[in-house]
Structure 1
Amino acid sequence: MASRKRTLLKVIILGDSGVGKTSLMNQYVNRKFSKQYKATIGADFLTKEVQVDDRLVTMQIWDTAGQERFQSLGVAFYRGADCCVLVHDVNTAKTFDNLENWRDEFLIQASPNDPDNFPFVVLGNKTDVDGGASRVVSEKKAKSWCTSKGNGDIPYFETSAKEDVNVEEAFACIARNALKNEAEEEIYLPDTVDVNQGAAKKGGCC
């Protein structure tokens, strides 16, 4: 049985509550920004078809609640992710400090085959606030953190969901990295599912 490549890319956005995860996703998918802040309960996702080089892929972007009580969303939620996006607010140091916890949480729950090379992308959001006067996390500091993780640099983008700054560019990078990860693992689709074999494949049936 020939294997076939998936064209569905699962992207998970993690970060503290209020850093703008939902706003970034809505700006990218729906080209909208809402000033009304509504906390995400549990998890939600949007899909968008994108062209990555010569391939048409569907990105399934999962937005998670940043509150700690929702942090343990379960293995099924994280499993099968092709890329993980870590978001912090450049105006709040704690949200940057917590990136380490979110990254660790993802690697524990998703348990990717090659944790050191799993694609992460970091977004420093809300660069528009006070014209940048109130920011406390410098671009240099964020990039330094990205360089220190895994084998090689994690891509870093400074974004404003409100002003639509760098959102398209960031998600283009996310899609490309997700596709690169996905392409290395072709998925075998047999006529009948062998439970043990299925469990060994990228998170199995879940």
Structure 2
Amino acid sequence: MANRRTTTMQSHTGGGIRASFLKVILLGDGMVGKTSLMNRFVTNKYSETLLRTIGVEFLNKDLIVNGQTYTLQIWDTAGQEQFKSLRTPFYRGSDVCLLVFSLTNRESFENLEYWKKEFFYHADVHNYEFPFVLLGNKSDATDSRVVNQDEIEEFVRLCPNMEYYETSAKKNENVEKAFIAAIDKFQKFEEDALNKDPFKNDPNKVDLDKIKRKNRSCNC
């Protein structure tokens, strides 16, 4: 998990607004629509002629979620094996990961476990409750769908702290909703981490307050 970084945005009234900086990674096979999703979310544009990503690309977008302002740096990583050495250095420091597959491509769904494992390894993430959002893209191609809902639900059930959205970059269905959900999950993940007591229910925990009280009552 990256340390919280902040940047200053200009408000409409000319004042400065402190914004948290989040690194968001899009992962999945090539041609599942990661670049289209990123472009639709950031620029609200869609093109049928987008070229495959070579290595990595990124775009920024400011977003307010639950009253908190975030600057999202969204990284689109090439899904082809030959670009593995280029994409993996960018996993580290990620705050959120969006796993993407195509509802019209069974192999892209079957490869999700590979992408998740690769992310954990190269991002050096050890908390398996890390905030993931799973995107089944190309929901508009209903006649070409080859991945059924039961399979998807089973994958999500086995992944702690994961949510699933069916998206269409072409028709702009659930795209912004999925990114907002990712930030929601990040916020909850951060809150849970802050609220957890690493010594809770630990029989070896030393109660310093108890020791102080005992020392104060000693007459020796």
TM-score, normalising length from structure 1? 0.81
| Corresponding residue number in structure 1 for 2:212 | none
Greater RCO (CA < 8 Å, at least 6 residues apart): 1
Q: Please name the residue that 1:200 is paired with.
A: none
1:189 counterpart residue number = none
Contact 1:86 1:121 in 2 (8 A): yes
Unaligned regions of 5+ residues in structure 2, if any?
Answer: 7-19, 195-220
Number of residue pairs matched? 178
Of the three residues 115, 132, 136, the one matched with 1:102 is 115
Shift of 1:15: 0.4
1:144 is aligned, of 134, 154, 157, to 154
- Output the aligned Cα RMSD: 1.9
User: Quick one: percent identity of the two aligned structures?
Assistant: 46
Which structure has greater strand proportion?
2
Q: Cα distance, 1:180 vs. partner?
A: 3.5
**Amino acid in the other structure paired with 1:80:** G
Contact persistence 1:9–1:178 (CA under 8 A) = no
Matched, 1:124 2:136: yes
- Say if 2:55 and 2:87, in contact at 8 Å, map to a contact too: no
2:96 paired with 1:88:
no
SS in 1 for 2:39: helix
1:112 shift after superposition: 1.5
1:157 alignment partner AA: Y
Shift of 1:162: 0.2
Do the aligned partners of 1:85 and 1:122 also contact (CA within 8 Å) in 2?
A: yes
20, 27, 48: which one aligns with 2:33: 20
1:79 aligns with 92
Instruction: State how 1:47-58 maps to structure 2 within 5 Å.
Output: 47-58=60-71
1 CA distance for matches of 2:5 and 2:68? Answer: 11
Q: Which has the larger radius of gyration?
A: 2
Shift of the 50–101 alpha-carbon distance from structure 1 to 2, 3 Å rule, reads same
Unpaired runs of 5+ in structure 1?
186-206
Residue aligning to 2:21: 8
